[in-house]
Structure 1
Amino acid sequence: MTVPWPRAGERIPGLERNRSVRTASRAATSRGATPRGAGRGASSRGTKGAVARRITARPHGLRLAVGRTAAALGQWLRRPLTSLHLVLGVFGLLTLFGLVMVLSASSVEALTADGSSYSVFTRQLMFCVPGLLMFFLGLRISPRRLRSLAPAALVVGALALVAVLFVGDTRNGSRAWFAIGAFSVQPSEAVKVALTLWGAHVLVARRAVMHRWKYALSPVVPVTVVLLTLLVLQPDLGMTISLGIVLVALLYFGGAPMRLILALSGGATAGAIVLALSAEYRMSRITAFLSPASADPQQAGFQARQALYSLADGGLFGQGLGQGRAKWSYLPNAHNDFIFAIVAEELGFIGAFAVLALFATLAYTGFRIAARSVDPWLRLVVATSTTWLVAQAAINIGYVVGLLPVTGLQLPLISSGGTSLVVTMFVFGVLANAARHEPEAIAALKQHGQGHLPRLLRLPLPEPYRAPVQRGRVR
């Protein structure tokens, strides 16, 4: 019988021959010869080593690329005109993006109301003309001249708030607009800018004694209280909150005692609560925010719930520009207060993040300009304006995503609204003007010239800041 394996002690000829070949191969290798297949093994080991070296070097290359990018960005940020370029870039992107989103969000409602899908967009586009003129005015006027006009602007704004209570047009329960033909003007938007300019003028003149309460309180706080009272009489809760933010920012950046700011903030919060409880529709909004499960989905909680549906439908990349469903009479005021929900629905998380990035860039740029400015009045104006613009955007986005109760504040340069658009464009013009008045920017413009566009617009060269002569000491 044949067995498939050898017995103990039995020799196999073929096996002995293979052993002798392997022994000879080892001997040849030790003498420097290359056995058959050794070259292929060395090549394989060399390839594996090269791949390993590439994998090992890849993190170093990535770090090198990130380091070079950060160095280039830091070098660009150190340029003298970077602040101006940032302001102009954010302004242009927000304006164009806002026009596109107003067209998309308002098309259905405009078609239903006016028979044309472009009526709201056309009205917003027409307001861009005076808005650009106001932007040019804010860019061209000298800071000294603008400061001298601040008291008159505040007086005109206060008189307009009084007049609107008697001859104003009522919308959504608020008498806050002047009707001029087919257009309307909301004076409270301009009052925010007037209070910023005048309040900075007063606080800078008293900055040496701002640590004393009586100088920090008077006359900015009493005047602001009068303006807030006029807004409450309209009533306009959103604009009241916005004006309160202006006051707090003025006092904070003006150097008022922190205890005073906290006391005023507490009083303002209590006043806002009383104002919210004084009207049934405001109370229902707060109740819907605090207890959304028990709120009536067809009444007070309708807008907030539909906005959350829009956010959920958007996903990462959105439904596509113009393809949103919330604007088909599901979400009221889709082109105004809740336009951020349309942005998230049609452009997704990417589009919503782009809006947040633009306003974050605005915050960085505004405080950068304020920190570099040597004019104390211009520094306070820029810091306060940046604060209320970014805070208003944060409040609007906050109540759209369900983090805050609905207040009616608009998203600057994106929500539809003629007066808000014109006033915000003027503020951006002032920010750009302040960027041109940075000491490094003044030196660069005088050394290298302004370029073709500023010469075409006949922009004057910015002048260095000169401290005014002190006429007397405040006691």
Structure 2
Amino acid sequence: MNQLRRFFKYIKDYSKYVDFSLLIIYIVLCTIGLVMIYSASMVGGPRGMLSGAGAVSSTYFYKRQLFAIILSFGIVFFMTYFMHINIIKNKRVQQSSIIGVLILLIATMLFGTEVNGSKSWLNTGIMMIQPAEFLKIVTIIYLAYIYDKKKNLNQMSLDLVAPIILIGFCSGLVMLQPDMGSTLLIFMIIISILMYSGIAFYTMLKTAAVIFGVACVSLLYNLVANGSLLSPHQVARFEVLKNPFKDESGIGYHLSNSLMAIGNGGLFGRGLGNGIMKLGYLPEPHTDFIFAVISEELGLVGVIIIISLLFFIVYKGFMYAALATSMFYRLICIGVASYIGIQTFINLGGVVGLIPLTGVPLPFLSYGGSSMLSLSIAVGLLLMASKHVKQERLNR
């Protein structure tokens, strides 16, 4: 009993450093996502219309996402209250993270499962994981760790470029799956961290040239291996942007149905569970096109609320980056804000036809255990960093 009292006293005393607004928004988004995943899959699941599962119960995807969310909540709670930031700064932890994700990416290339033309999934025997999702987290903590230790970031050196080459090599493995959406996101996270690290402009240009060179090498390998820079389905995703309704039953099927679902929603939507386009018309309504389902059922008002909640998390990331005195905390906050903000843009841009469809999930709302775990770890990192920023300010 005394141990239980001490536990709750510790939680109470430590809660003054926790940003509960960030934590509440995270929980709200996960809850909305869980409800919308059930709505999007309750009809398609039993009819076998959703890829990767066959005919399943109406609660199949709901239960699996619920398990991922419960596990994610536990991780965020542990990181917020019991995990010290110095653990991430440990050299062995950093090395283990890089080596671990590299092994997973190589294993995915050799033994991975192909879904929708991309060999991105690895069956561990317990669950299917997507290593590219965890590479996003490793990119943030590794670059923050490396550039926090560097005393001179204004001169081009091997110490400055080597981490980018290493992350670039891992990203190249993701590109070869092929998963262009995740690769683009990782490169943009790298650029965001570099821009905020204090590196001189000309040094940043040289570093960007290195990143571009790594990308070109990966594309060249793809050209030699497959006979073209892009796979046929990737080329089709660019072509469909011109007029998705020109070939509604062909290459324009995904985008045209997505746009119709969004248009059907109007101002207040058709009502939760009353969407029509998810009934066999809209492909992957519970994953890539969850935003289209949200738009149809909750309307413009619901969309604005959800985008505002996502923007709030991104805003918090940039706010704590501006307040942090430590380079490490600053880059962690920038990395997490960039991760969530850019991934949201890539998903929404693809669903509404601004950019090619990439298969990148909508943060906290799309179905997917790996994505939920990765994003939750990112929120945990942001809460850890914000906690130390608050402690510093209170101490001053």
Same fold (TM over 0.5): yes
Q: Say yes or no: does 1:350 pair with 2:292.
A: no
| Alpha-carbon distance, 1:81 to partner | 6.0
2:84 to 142, 156, 168: 142
**Could you tell me which residue of structure 2 aligns to residue 302 of structure 1?**
253
**Could you tell me which residue of structure 2 aligns to residue 126 of structure 1?**
67
1:378 to 329, 332, 343: 329
**In 2, Cα distance between the equivalents of 1:326 and 1:442?**
50
| Alpha-carbon distance, 1:235 to partner | 1.6
**In 2, Cα distance between the equivalents of 1:378 and 1:440?**
12
Q: Please state whether the residue corresponding to 1:438 is helix, strand or coil.
A: helix
**Could you tell me which residue of structure 2 aligns to residue 213 of structure 1?**
156
1:96 to 31, 52, 60: 31
- Measured at CA, do residues 434 and 126 of structure 1 come closer, stay the same or move farther in structure 2, by a change above 3 Å? same
**In 2, Cα distance between the equivalents of 1:137 and 1:341?**
34
Q: Say yes or no: does 1:244 pair with 2:203.
A: no
Q: Please state whether the residue corresponding to 1:343 is helix, strand or coil.
A: helix
Q: Please state whether the residue corresponding to 2:337 is helix, strand or coil.
A: helix
Max radius of gyration: which structure?
A: 1
**In 2, Cα distance between the equivalents of 1:110 and 1:89?**
30
**Could you tell me which residue of structure 1 aligns to residue 291 of structure 2?**
340
**Could you tell me which residue of structure 1 aligns to residue 355 of structure 2?**
404
Q: Deviations over 1:434-454 (max 9, x none)?
A: 22112457738xxxxxxxxxx
| Alpha-carbon distance, 1:322 to partner | 0.3
- Measured at CA, do residues 334 and 221 of structure 1 come closer, stay the same or move farther in structure 2, by a change above 3 Å? same
- Measured at CA, do residues 395 and 81 of structure 1 come closer, stay the same or move farther in structure 2, by a change above 3 Å? farther
Matches within 5 A, 1:186-205: 186-205=130-149
**Could you tell me which residue of structure 2 aligns to residue 9 of structure 1?**
none
Q: Please state whether the residue corresponding to 2:241 is helix, strand or coil.
A: helix
**Could you tell me which residue of structure 2 aligns to residue 165 of structure 1?**
109
- Measured at CA, do residues 439 and 357 of structure 1 come closer, stay the same or move farther in structure 2, by a change above 3 Å? closer
Contact kept, 8 Å, 2:45 with 2:56, in 1: the verdict is yes
| Alpha-carbon distance, 1:292 to partner | 3.4
**In 2, Cα distance between the equivalents of 1:304 and 1:436?**
42
**Could you tell me which residue of structure 2 aligns to residue 227 of structure 1?**
170
| Alpha-carbon distance, 1:319 to partner | 0.2
> How many residues are treated as equivalent by the alignment?
364
Q: Please state whether the residue corresponding to 2:362 is helix, strand or coil.
A: coil
Q: Deviations over 1:278-335 (max 9, x none)?
A: 21110011011134354x2112211111111011100000000000001101000111
Contact kept, 8 Å, 2:288 with 2:347, in 1: the verdict is yes
- Measured at CA, do residues 339 and 268 of structure 1 come closer, stay the same or move farther in structure 2, by a change above 3 Å? farther
| Alpha-carbon distance, 1:361 to partner | 0.8
| Alpha-carbon distance, 1:426 to partner | 1.4
Contact kept, 8 Å, 1:336 with 1:415, in 2: the verdict is yes
**Could you tell me which residue of structure 2 aligns to residue 178 of structure 1?**
122
Q: Please state whether the residue corresponding to 2:78 is helix, strand or coil.
A: helix
1:108 to 43, 52, 56: 43
**In 1, Cα distance between the equivalents of 2:128 and 2:184?**
22
**In 2, Cα distance between the equivalents of 1:414 and 1:182?**
23
**Could you tell me which residue of structure 1 aligns to residue 279 of structure 2?**
328
**Could you tell me which residue of structure 2 aligns to residue 289 of structure 1?**
241
Q: Please state whether the residue corresponding to 2:394 is helix, strand or coil.
A: helix
Q: Please state whether the residue corresponding to 2:46 is helix, strand or coil.
A: helix
Gaps of 5+ in 1: 1-79, 445-463, 465-475
| Alpha-carbon distance, 1:262 to partner | 5.4
Q: Which amino acid aligns with 2:168?
A: V
**TM-score normalized by structure 1?**
0.72
**In 2, Cα distance between the equivalents of 1:424 and 1:198?**
16
Matches within 5 A, 1:51-70: none
Q: Please state whether the residue corresponding to 1:109 is helix, strand or coil.
A: coil
Q: Deviations over 1:118-160 (max 9, x none)?
A: 1111111111232122212322311111221222111111111
Contact kept, 8 Å, 2:323 with 2:389, in 1: the verdict is yes
Contact kept, 8 Å, 1:165 with 1:175, in 2: the verdict is yes
**In 1, Cα distance between the equivalents of 2:218 and 2:63?**
36
Of stretches 333-342 and 107-116 in structure 1, the one that deviates more from structure 2 is 107-116
Gaps of 5+ in 2: 1-14, 49-54, 223-227
Q: Which amino acid aligns with 2:130?
A: Q
Where relative contact order (Cα < 8 A, 6+ residues apart) is larger, the structure is 2
- Measured at CA, do residues 270 and 305 of structure 1 come closer, stay the same or move farther in structure 2, by a change above 3 Å? farther
| Alpha-carbon distance, 1:219 to partner | 1.2
Contact kept, 8 Å, 2:181 with 2:346, in 1: the verdict is no
Q: Please state whether the residue corresponding to 2:123 is helix, strand or coil.
A: strand
1:362 to 288, 305, 313: 313
**In 1, Cα distance between the equivalents of 2:285 and 2:346?**
16
| Alpha-carbon distance, 1:263 to partner | 4.0
1:278 to 202, 219, 230: 230
**In 2, Cα distance between the equivalents of 1:358 and 1:216?**
38
**In 2, Cα distance between the equivalents of 1:158 and 1:167?**
14
Q: Please state whether the residue corresponding to 1:209 is helix, strand or coil.
A: coil
CA RMSD of superposed structures (Å)? 2.5
**In 2, Cα distance between the equivalents of 1:386 and 1:189?**
15
**Could you tell me which residue of structure 1 aligns to residue 3 of structure 2?**
none
Q: Please state whether the residue corresponding to 1:176 is helix, strand or coil.
A: strand
Matches within 5 A, 1:384-423: 384-423=335-374
